[in-house]
Chains A and B, each alone.
Chain A
Amino acid sequence: MELLMAMVVPGLMLGVSLWGLVRKVDLWNALVAGAGEGLQVCVGIAPALVCLLTAVYMLRASGALELLGQVLEPALSAVGIPTETIGLLLVRPVSGSAALGVGAELLAVYGPDSLVGRTAAVMLGSTETTFYTVAVYFGAAKIAKTRYAIPAALCGDVVGFLAASWAVRLWFGG
């Protein structure tokens, strides 16, 4: 099973390349062009990440995150969400790069293969920056009356966070 999961990456690389060759895609140029875009994404998020990790590190050093975690601990543990992810829950709907920064911090402190680390990663992978998306879409469509779009989207987020915590326990045990 472990070997299978480890082979996902190289397997996908080979599979996609073979498929690309069959479909006569300019394989090498596509790979390099995509990689270039990846670099642009990194450069694009770097300034925000620097600013946000500064604030996240300050918060952690001050003990404010632990305090908030303690306050919300009963509610979170009642529904099965690890308390340590509280910071992530708060920033995820508002800012993608902030969430990435908070997530990176959790992975560094608890380890990428810990329950907290995995839950944080699954939360990041299964939710979106809700408020940002709502603003962009309604801005582009010139909509003033957004009706139930925001509450419905937040329902999806809440279930996403819960499901992430449950799915990690289900898949990895513990």
Chain B
Amino acid sequence: MAMAVIWTVMVAASILCGLASGRGEAVAAAALEGAAAGVELCLTMAGALCLWMGVMEVMRRSGLARGLSRLLRPVLRRLYPDFARDEAVMDAVSANVSANLLGLGNAATPLGLEAARLMAKRSPGVASDSLCMLVVCNTASIQLIPATVASLRAAAGCATPFDILPAVWLASALSVTAGVLAAKLMARVWR
């Protein structure tokens, strides 16, 4: 639904704005140009994205994700104190986080949803503090290797698409920290 509104607003705004500024023809031409650019972008991105997904699959199969989730346990116990002793939840959450770290979005979501369902059993219909924390952590990006963005940069002709890695890590870390702190603070005041 949200996308339908956004799409309509975007098209309406560009037609109105284009007509008002006398660029109606340019807007009409741009519509077709944009559609072609969409296909082009997918094609140019495909190579780099395939390569990275391949490397990530090797990481997953070589047990890197499992090792990571063991390392993460102590931190996660503090983030989810209500479920620290619930092995099923802790398993799902740590697998979710390590899949997120490795950029395996498709694998991370089902694991996260499993954790969410288990958490919701204790408080049906209402988001508990732990469930809010789980959602906040999943709305923050914590990938170690942002493959899609790197492919996008490579497609735009960048020779060193990964030179933004330190900046991405710093920004991700700050963003996750802010989300977690906000959740912890709001948990005290929100009823």
**Chain B residues with CB under 8 A of A142:** 120, 124-125
Interface residues in B, total, Cβ within 8 A: 104
Set B6, B120, B175: member contacting A127, Cβ < 8 A: B175
**B156 proximal to A (CB < 8 A):** yes
Q: Cβ of B167 < 8 Å from any Cβ of A? A: yes
CB neighbours of B18 from chain A (8 A): 58, 61-64
Q: Find the B residue at minimum CB distance from A155.
A: B182
Q: In the complex, A151 Cα to B134 Cα: how many Å?
A: 14
Question: Provided the pairs A23-B63, A152-B182 are in contact, do residues A8 and B165 lie with their beta carbons within 8 angstroms?
Answer: yes
Closest beta carbon of chain B to A25's beta carbon, Å: 5
List residues of B whose CB falls within 8 A of some A CB: 2-3, 6-7, 10-11, 13-18, 21, 23, 26-27, 29-35, 37-39, 41-43, 45-46, 49-64, 106, 109, 112-113, 116-117, 119-120, 124-127, 131-132, 134-136, 138-141, 143, 145-146, 148-149, 152-153, 155-168, 170-172, 174-180, 182-183, 186-187, 190
Known: A126-B168, A152-B183. 6 other contacts (CB 8 A): A2-B160, A27-B58, A61-B30, A63-B18, A140-B113, A143-B126
A-B complex: 3 closest residue pairs judged by Cβ atoms: A156-B179, A34-B57, A57-B34
